[in-house]
Amino acid sequence: DSGVTQTPKHLITATGQRVTLRCSPRSGDLSVYWYQQSLDQGLQFLIQYYNGEERAKGNILERFSAQQFPDLHSELNLSSLELGDSALYFCASSVGLTGGRNEQYFGPGTRLTVT
C-alpha cells in the first residue's frame, strides 16, 4: 500500500459525458501528479500540482482539467469523453516539488471505460 488513494476504482460512462477522478496523496506529500496509461499510448504524464498550484504540464488535453485543494487532495476532470479516453488514470504524490530526486508513490489507479 503506497498511501495514495484514488476513487473510484472503476468508472464506466458514455461518450460525451464528464467525470471526476479523485486522489488523496500520502500524508505530508505536497506534490500530486496525474498520469494516463493506455494500451496504445503507454504511460503518459498529464499534470503536476504542488501545494495547490499547477507546476508542470504534460500531454493533457484541453478537455481535461485538474486542481489541488487546500487539504491537498486533487481531482482530475475529464469532459466530452471520447472512446479513446478509456484508460487507467494514476495519481502519484511526493514530498518535494520536482527536478531532483523525487520519489513518487503511485495510487492503485482508476480504470475509466468510455462506451
Partner 1 sequence: GESVGLHLPTLSVQEGDNSIINCAYSNSASDYFIWYKQESGKGPQFIIDIRSNMDKRQGQRVTVLLNKTVKHLSLQIAATQPGDSAVYFCAENIGGGSYIPTFGRGTSLIVHP
Nearer to partner 1, 8 or 16 (CB): 8
How far is the CA of 32 from the CAs of 14, 21, 60, 65, 114, in angstroms? 27, 13, 15, 14, 25
The rounded distance, in Å, linking the Cα atoms of 14 and 22 is: 19
Q: Where are the alpha helices (DSSP H) in the chain?
A: none
Residues 14-73 that bind partner 1 (CB under 8 A): 33, 42-45, 48, 55-58
Q: Which of 2, 13, 38, 79 binds partner 1 (CB under 8 A)?
A: 2
Query: Total residues contacting partner 1 (rule CB under 8 A)?
Result: 26
| Contacts to partner 1 by CB under 8 A | 2, 4, 33, 42-45, 48, 55-58, 90, 92, 98-109
